[in-house]
Amino acid sequence: MRTRNWTVILAVSSVTLLSLVAPVRAQQAPPASPPQPANSGSQEKPTITTRVELVDVVFSVLNRRQKFITDLQKENFKVFEDNKPQDIRFFSRETDLPLRVGMLLDTSNSIRDRIKFEQEAAIDFLYNVVRRHKDLAFLMTFDNEPEIVQDYTEDLSQLRDAILKQRAGGGTALYDAIYTACQQFLANPPMPAGPTPRVRRVLVVISDGDDNLSSHSRSEALDMAQRAGVVIYAISTSTQWVTASEERNPVKRTERKYHKDEGDKVLDQITEETGGRAFFPYRVDDLAQSFLDIGDELRSQYSLAYTPVNRTPDGKLRTIRIEVDRKGLQVRARRGYYPLRAAAGVSSPAGAPASRPASKPPGQR
């Protein structure tokens, strides 16, 4: 009788064990090959799937007086990639997209005597451009290394208080700061609710443009900005000014900066390459119009998208040029993009960014 009971227990255990193991084996087993047709003289060709990428470009159009032109249509534009014409598939006027703004404040020793100017400029920009309940902004400073001081928020008073606490000292790692801000914050910002959320990514750099400590090069910083689809605006803190009289109008004499030092040229390059602009104000009072211009531009833009003729996923920079058919108008847009590399996790042509890393960026307290 005892032997019979052990037999029953072993039988039940075996059935239970098989019921647990069988599903696992079924999941791990490779799918069976489809049956081949009998007497087939040729093998079936493998299916090749091609991923079609859209290149999305946001741009502005200005006349000779630097006024924004906002009434143009798709038919008014042509787009070229590496000097080859492309077919515009989508076109729209982008006038009210939510903004994701990174404020990049230079706190190095080179701007010690202009730190108050920087603080006032940053605060004025936020209060003139960032809209409550729609836009978000963060604050990053840089000296020896970039440091995130305030993460994304719509609370302007929080950002203002964080800006006013900053003090100057140390080296200047400008390119590292641009690289970090674009890669870790602007590449994958908080998105608004909705089925197809879209935002405009903007980086505002307030600096003299000098760099003496970065581990990333200027080209690497620009590459990251272009991959993340970030437009960079810069406000120069340089004090190298020369006064010039405008002889064209003897009644009205104005002052302007006509000599740009190396730092100014750096700011010009990083803004022009990404479709933004650099401003060279001497006093805080001069900033008001600059901020109004930036705000107007961000809400007076167009967007077009095309499927590139060259679909080779080589990850190399491709140049973009947009032409408008009206005389006296100029287009301001980013100058290129990086296509999706076949085997690497780089961004898509449209600047679709990689996921934001969970780890803290360099220098975060």
DSSP 320-363: EEEEESSTT-EEEE--EE-PPPTTS-PPPTT--PPPPPSSPPTT
pTM above 0.85, yes or no: no
Instruction: Indicate whether 41 pLDDT > 80.
Output: no
Residue 150 pLDDT? 97
Mean pLDDT score across all residues of the chain: 79
Mean pLDDT across 169-193? 96
Residue 269 pLDDT? 95
- Between 291 and 217, the higher pLDDT residue: 217
Is residue 80 situated within a structural domain?
yes
Total domains in the fold of the chain: 1
Is residue 332 situated within a structural domain?
yes
Is residue 46 situated within a structural domain?
no
CB atoms within 10 A of CB 346: 15
Across 94-103, 157-166, 211-220, least confident range: 94-103
Is residue 324 situated within a structural domain?
yes
Q: What whole-number distance in Å separates Cα of residue 290 and Cα of residue 279? A: 7
Residue 347 pLDDT? 39
Name the residue with tokens 């990404």: 274
Query: Is 313 exposed, middle or buried (CB count within 10 Å of its CB: 0-12, 13-18, 19+)?
Result: middle
Residue 10 pLDDT? 37
Is residue 15 situated within a structural domain?
no
Across 65-69, 137-141, 250-254, 310-314, least confident range: 250-254
Sheet holding 88-94, edge to edge: 88-94, 301-306, 55-62, 330-333
Confidence category of residue 313, pLDDT binned at 50, 70, 90? confident
Q: What whole-number distance in Å separates Cα of residue 243 and Cα of residue 63? A: 27
Q: Which domain holds residue 104?
A: 55-247+254-337
Nearest CA to 174 among 210, 223, 225? Answer: 210
Is residue 35 situated within a structural domain?
no
Name the residue with tokens 């007497």: 39
Q: What whole-number distance in Å separates Cα of residue 40 and Cα of residue 364? A: 65
Across 135-139, 228-232, 248-252, 261-265, least confident range: 248-252
Mean pLDDT across 317-326? 95
Residue 43 pLDDT? 54
Mean pLDDT across 103-124? 92
The enclosing domain of 270 has a CATH number of 3.40.50.410
Mean pLDDT across 108-130? 91
- Between 337 and 282, the higher pLDDT residue: 337
Is residue 21 situated within a structural domain?
no
